[in-house]
Amino acid sequence: MKLEFFKYQGTGNDFVIIDNRQDIFPKNDTKLVAELCDRRFGIGADGLMLLENDEASDFKMVYYNSDGGQSTMCGNGGRCLVAFAHYLGVIGETCTFNAVDGLHEATVDGDIVKLKMIDVDEVHEMPNHIFLDTGSPHHVQLVKNLPQFDVQKEGKRLRYGLYGESGSNINFVEQEDGDVFQVRTYERGVEGETYSCGTGVTAVALAMHESGKTSSSEVHIKTLGGDLTISFEKSGEKYSNVYLKGPAIQVFKGEVEC
């Protein structure tokens, strides 16, 4: 069959998106997902998303990693799917949608999408890193000379060596200014470095606040693919009203034979 698809990117984190409100996509075909995400033999993407009907919200988000496996929450993916829903006319400038980690709110202002992330009440500080879950598990580690750091080698070593087969995403961070941080991320499921990771930069912002590296409740993150802003409130041990804000752009659309 011929399948219509759309390609979106959020700070270089790129996704194949399909309107699946008519239940046309073979959701159990993980091989097909991997083929569509392949950068040499397919469309090419960090992941694939389906926009589906949902009784409790404006739409449902179904997300697959580029290896074909269904994944935990993807922040940049969520922002791109909101932009897609707005393009289709499914939503206006505000919406709610269901994802694997629950209900999310979002707003659209031109190419900028602001997405509410889940609350976080557990931040685990270790001697050399911080671990927390922002919809996906994240290891956050400060390093020096980040532009020359071997993210692929060290990310893979930690992803498997420290966290086993189930793994964790690995974020390497260097502070640029009081509330400005550079971040590079090794993503499980992609099994390599991506240009940006939404849940990852959210984890970095909260981790840097928790560890006292910044006192600001609005943190600015620079990734290989662009800049993102994370804002939040903290009460006791809990981080709430966590928002991820940045661009979400439609790159192209087309048809592919399946």
- Give the domain ranges of the chain: 2-114+248-257, 123-246
Give the active site residue among 37, 74, 80, 95: 74
Per-residue pLDDT for the chain (258 aa), expressed as one digit of tens each? 899 999 999 999 999 999 999 999 999 999 999 999 999 999 999 999 999 999 999 999 999 999 998 888 999 999 999 999 999 999 999 999 999 999 999 999 999 999 999 999 999 999 999 999 999 999 999 999 999 999 999 999 999 999 988 899 999 999 999 999 999 999 998 999 999 999 999 999 999 999 999 999 999 999 999 999 999 999 999 999 999 999 999 999 999 998
**Any known ligand binding at 76?**
yes
Give the active site residue among 37, 80, 95, 197: 197
Specify whether 80 is catalytic.
no
In the chain, alpha helices (H)? 30-37, 75-88, 151-161, 198-210
Specify whether 258 is catalytic.
no
Token pair in block for residue 215: 């006192």
For residue 161, give every residue at least 6 positions away whose Cβ sits within 8 Å of its Cβ, in sequence order, or none.
none
Domains 2-114+248-257 and 123-246 share a fold: yes
**Any known ligand binding at 198?**
yes
Does pTM surpass 0.85?
yes
Does the domain spanning 123-246 belong to CATH 3.10.310.10? yes
**Any known ligand binding at 75?**
yes
**Any known ligand binding at 241?**
no
Nearest-angstrom CA–CA distance, 110 and 130: 35
Does the domain spanning 2-114+248-257 belong to CATH 3.10.310.10? yes
Nearest-angstrom CA–CA distance, 205 and 216: 10
